[in-house]
Amino acid sequence: MSGTLYLVGVPIGHYGDMTIRALDVLKAVDVVAAEDTRKAHHLFNYFGFKPTRLVTYHAHNEHASAEGLLGWLAEGKSIAVITDAGMPCVSDPGYLVAKAVTDKGFELKVIPGVSASTTALATSGLPSQTFSFVGFLPKTAAARQKELAKWAGREETLVFYESPRRLIASLEDMITVLGANRQACVCRELTKTHEEVTRGSLESLHTDYANRKDVLGEITLIVSGHDGSVSAINTDDIQAAIADMAAKGLSAKDIRDHIATVYGMPKREVYAMVLAYQAKTSA
């Protein structure tokens, strides 16, 4: 007799978004594995019940905990995995245990719920027929610009998660790599009391948030895709972009690939400009 593991979506803010099916599962399972047991208790208290057993399951113990959950499943127990907010596996723990469960032949069921990524996408007013979920960008400017360069030429809408502490810096890097006029939408504290949605160009959004005393809350950032046109080539702009990326430690290859993508230039031509810049600055 083997048990079932449920990946259960929970609200990203407003508890009214909790589904009846999710509540039924959380009340019925033998074990609830939560990313943060304190936040889980707030959720359970709001709906007036206590789970049969509550354990911790987060990113730092995901490997070890997955093994423990498999043991309970082998005993025939049912388990629900929840994160702090939204759907497990989407920039949150859950993938490792989901893979382990399916690899071992146990039953896996998903109880869908709210996701910040799709909520923000619908809120943004930007094209949603096709989109790519990028998630969190790297913490350093050089690594962020390198990652953004991979997406610069993509025409679908892009979905990012970001820390409020890094929002302004990430917007700066997006202006450098994607262009100041890209349309975007910053969704902050979605479905919560202080929900805020700000739309505009990357440049206007950067100006807005840079002038604020504090930026708080969970942030989802939606950015429009490349419009397919070739940017007007301005040598001064290219030289400035090369200097900026070189100062941030990007390699000649990464700089070449980014410039070629954004300006629609041949890589060989751009690479020659990068090498010329390096020779000039090292002389």
Alpha-carbon separation of residue 282 from 142, 152, 278 (angstroms):
20, 29, 6
Exposure string (b/e) for 182-196, b if CB count within 10 Å is 16 or more? Answer: bbbbbbbbbbeeeee
Dist CA 128 CA 223 (whole Å) = 11
Q: What is the pLDDT of residues 104-147, one digit of tens each?
A: 999 999 999 999 999 999 999 999 999 999 999 999 988 898 88
Q: Is the pTM of this model over 0.85?
A: no
Per-residue pLDDT band for 232 (boundaries 50, 70, 90) equals very low
Q: What is the pLDDT of residues 144-191, one digit of tens each?
A: 988 888 888 889 999 999 999 999 999 999 988 888 889 999 999 999
Greater pLDDT, 235 or 53: 53
Dist CA 114 CA 121 (whole Å) = 12
Alpha-carbon separation of residue 252 from 154, 237, 255, 259, 275 (angstroms):
22, 17, 5, 11, 7
Which stretches does DSSP call E strand in the chain?
4-8, 31-34, 54-56, 79-82, 107-111, 131-136, 157-162, 183-188, 196-201, 219-223
Dist CA 206 CA 82 (whole Å) = 34
Contact 263, 269 (CB under 8 A): no
In 10 A of CB 205, how many CB atoms? Answer: 24
pLDDT at 51: 94
pLDDT at 47: 97
